[in-house]
Structure 1
Amino acid sequence: MEATKLVDTSLTLDGRLLLRSGSMVGAARIIGGDEHVDLHVRPKIGIARLLWLLGYARDPRGWRTEPVGLTPEHDLVPAMAVAFATATYQALAPGLLQGYRTVEEALPLVRGRLREADQLRTRPGLALPVEVRYDDYDTDIPENQILLSAVRRLHRLPGVPPATCNALHRIAAALADVTPLTAGAPIPEASSNRFNNRYQPALRLARLILAGESIEHSHGSTLAAGFVFDLNTVFEDWLTTALRHAVETRYGGTVTGQHQMHLDRDRRLPLVRPDITWWHGRQCLAVIDAKYKAPGNTPPRDDIYQLLAYCTTLNLPRGHLVYASAGAESVTYQLTGSGVHIVVHRFDLAAPVTHLHEQIEKVAEAITSVEVASGVSATPTAGPDAAVKDGGYPS
């Protein structure tokens, strides 16, 4: 079961198997011989909130509110399957969306433009078939490909209700002339416009389904297959997107995630990348670390040490720790010797969405006001990364 990444296993003194969940949520089916076990790990924050966090991180404009009709008792896969099938039925009700796509193939006649280089390379001296490139108007476009790929993904997951399976089969039949996406390939962009606007709710859910980490594991006669999300990554991605929107819109600069740094000038001691940094040109003005855990009364020392290393490397007087945990107002710790201030913020992810937006605004204000309040001006970070092309900094 550990191969599913959903739980850690251990044996009790009386020989029973003990399962302990961590930061992963989702569903998996473990098959051994003629029997199988379905394993479901449900997030404490609820499925609707999980979907909102996932969706907001990818498109803050498209996920203003939580998906309706989902309760905390829903499991992840059934909830996503039902929501996706409903949204896709509504999207396809007026008919399949069509559009132009570029096709390159060999034909017995000339259509569109002749690909001369390909013709000479593959068929030197032959007149037919002809390598051509042309635009075709049909249903095999990125929007439909994304929907079909999500349908196929859901078909392989445990826990999809029978009625929803039937609905997915009907959707797949309607998309019979569409080519599914290649496994592992990037999901194509399908920006919103007046033609595909009715597809957008279904496309947002489809992208979440395709973004979930797939489990395909075989060991002897045991097979595990499933679908999981890491809540550490979910929280970090949401916080990065939310702060980017709040900070860049009102204060300018660039908010970026996972900036590469080194502790030494010779770049031989790589540092674990900070989750979020805020830049003005090549000046780093703030560093934020996201932690999906409850810190207790005081933050763990490892978290403090890690953020202190970031502040030292980036030459910052202040760093911010953000925990996914209910609690009091922000607390500031001034570290002895270095003088660095560590500000600890807490987010109750189960709170109403409006409250989360308010908390984001408070953190954004705390991040951006330190320069004015303290009179400190962060200097450009020189040294290890300054010699990298483009400075190694966000543009």
Structure 2
Amino acid sequence: MINLSLTENAPARTVSLPEAVGRALAHSGIVDASPHPDRAGYWQLRAAGVIGTARITTDDDTVVVHITPKVPIARVLFLLEYRRSCRIWLDETVPATDERDLLAVVARLYAARAEHAVRQGLMHGYRETDETTHVMRGRLRHSDQLRAHHGRPLPLEVTHDEHTTDITENRLLASATRALLRIPTELPEDVRLRLLHLRRRFSEITPLPRGQRLPNWQHSRLNARYHHALRLAELVLRGSSVEHRPGHLAVHGFLVDTAKLFEDFVTVALRNALAEEPGHSVLQEHGHLDENHAIPLTPDFVHYAPSGEPRAVVDVKYKAERPSGYPNADLYQMLAYCVAFGLRAGHLVYAKGNSAHGTHRVRRAGITIHQHALELDQPPPQLLDDVDLLARRLTERS
């Protein structure tokens, strides 16, 4: 087994690797890997926009890749809270300040929250169940009865509500527990033992099918003790959904897309900051550039006046896009948004260090494009203050 440690946005590392392993890393999409131009048997490796842990298995060897975020784990956890606009960890006492392994921290947090959720026993609820029986209960499924039994009175095809622990909330927690134990990397021993104990608690719960969309659950007074654990379970299940097999590779892990993480934080935090302003905000708005609606546009954030007229458009970029031949692709994209939404100004928001502040007035168009940079490596209150300042600039310039 080969263990590799990379840091987000760090310069490429030169590592001696077998040819087959280097190719497997390149095909995985988790890291950018290319043969060294001058040293045979060596590969240049860089993180490819994700943080976390993954194991890549080939016919010849196994590689475990740990990708450390460039900001402290505590900052990453704060950003993750905004994936669903909820406070998950602000009152958590897990010491994550010096921890650099995202998977270990998330697993520890999840174990603590899940243990708290089931401390009073597993939650019960009603689940709609289809059953073939000789006793009438619930309601008869007439079409299924005719199709299966051709007019015979018995057995009966019925649907009834069953009071059980095998409900969505418990299935999410059971599946997240199994997913963390399935990730092929060494968790801290105390965390692993806690997860094994949780797996025994959920031994009679049906796990969710892998690869399918996660079921929805509803906030209520009855499941209040499960809320934090359920949000963490969703995070675990989405992060571990990286499991796939491209070609002859098997990739398993817990990974977080940093660009999506930053986009979720900025858009949700902006929506919160503008909540008291007249009008409303839409995330991932759908529009079109042309009158025939053939060219779709999806800006990350649009704020509307009470009349329904667009007031501000924002697109969030973790780092500047400079594809070959299009060095100013972000600016072109924002120009299209401004034209389509009839605005005289547009706003691009970057993570500081990946791009700088700037203002560009487009010739003959009367449109100004503003570039903003947010410093992520600062305490949450200061970061939210910066978002509030950005929100004020949006409304002042609209």
User: AA paired with 1:264?
Assistant: D
3-state SS in 1 of match to 2:316? strand
Check the 8 A contact 1:4/1:28 in 2, yes or no: no
Deviation (angstroms), 1:324:
0.9
Determine the structure 2 residue equivalent to 1:3. Answer: 27
3-state SS in 1 of match to 2:56? strand
User: AA paired with 1:347?
Assistant: L
Determine the structure 1 residue equivalent to 2:342. Answer: 315
Asked whether 1:36 is paired with 2:65, we answer no
Deviation (angstroms), 1:58:
0.8
3-state SS in 2 of match to 1:216? coil
Check the 8 A contact 1:259/1:273 in 2, yes or no: yes
User: AA paired with 1:216?
Assistant: H
> Cα gap change, 1:62/1:252 in structure 2, threshold over 3 Å: closer, same or farther?
farther
Aligned partners of 1:315, 1:272: CA distance in 2, in Å?
13
Aligned partners of 1:53, 1:206: CA distance in 2, in Å?
17
User: AA paired with 2:104?
Assistant: P
**Identity of matched residues, %:** 37
**Higher normalized contact order (CA 8 Å, seq sep 6+, divided by chain length):** 1
Aligned partners of 1:110, 1:321: CA distance in 2, in Å?
62
User: AA paired with 2:204?
Assistant: D
Deviation (angstroms), 1:113:
2.0
Q: How does 1:192-271 map to 2 (within 5 A)?
A: 192-212=219-239, 213-217=241-245, 219-220=247-248, 222-247=249-274, 249-268=275-294, 270-271=295-296
Deviation (angstroms), 1:72:
4.7
Check the 8 A contact 1:334/1:340 in 2, yes or no: yes
Q: How does 1:371-386 map to 2 (within 5 A)?
A: 371=398
Aligned partners of 2:65, 2:354: CA distance in 1, in Å?
32
TM-score (norm 2): 0.84
> Cα gap change, 1:261/1:195 in structure 2, threshold over 3 Å: closer, same or farther?
closer
In the comparison of the two structures, how many residue pairs are matched? Answer: 365
Deviation (angstroms), 1:162:
3.8
Asked whether 1:57 is paired with 2:69, we answer no
> Cα gap change, 1:312/1:205 in structure 2, threshold over 3 Å: closer, same or farther?
same
Unaligned 5+ runs, structure 2: 1-24, 322-326
Q: How does 1:1-395 map to 2 (within 5 A)?
A: 1-12=25-36, 13-15=38-40, 16-33=42-59, 35-62=61-88, 64=90, 68-159=94-185, 160-212=187-239, 213-217=241-245, 219-220=247-248, 222-247=249-274, 249-268=275-294, 270-280=295-305, 282-293=308-319, 301-325=328-352, 331-371=358-398
Deviation (angstroms), 1:185:
3.1
> Cα gap change, 1:224/1:326 in structure 2, threshold over 3 Å: closer, same or farther?
closer
Aligned partners of 2:73, 2:129: CA distance in 1, in Å?
41
> Cα gap change, 1:194/1:303 in structure 2, threshold over 3 Å: closer, same or farther?
same
TM-score (norm 1): 0.84
Unaligned 5+ runs, structure 1: 372-395
